[in-house]
Amino acid sequence: MSDDITIRNAQSAVHEWITKYGVRYFSELTNMAILTEEVGEVARIIARKYGDQSSKKSESDGDLADELADVLWVIICLANQTGIDLTEAFMKNIDKKTERDQLRHLKNDKLFA
């Protein structure tokens, strides 16, 4: 697989891996629970590395890149099993944000303080 991957290619790669090694997708509900767990692992790392919380002696610093990739993996699984083209959804989302927020942040004095 190339280092340059599109969202659509990532969806295909995950599907190929699932059908070759994973037997089948976990249920949507199970994947939602897994996503919540993975986001919690990202939160723990962020809280310890960038926030005020210190690490426990028994825990490693964690690998933020790996945990973010786990989150992306599960999001792709959910998209695949629910028939969502994430490329199309993402582009629509950018358009929505642009239309709704094109001036909002520029007019937010808090961002320029």
| Domains of the chain (ranges, CATH numbers) | 7-87 (1.10.287.1080)
What are the distances in angstroms from CA 39 to CA 3, 30, 85? 24, 14, 22
> From first to last of its 113 residues, what are the pLDDT tens digits of the chain?
568 999 999 999 999 999 999 999 999 999 999 999 999 999 999 999 999 988 887 777 889 999 999 999 999 999 999 999 999 999 999 999 999 999 999 999 999 98
pTM of the model: 0.88
Distance CA 65, CA 9 (A): 19
Q: Could you write out the DSSP letters of every residue in 39-70? A: HHHHHHHHHHHTSSPPPPTTS----HHHHHHH
CA of 59: how far to CAs of 8, 26, 41, 54, 99, in Å?
36, 28, 12, 10, 44
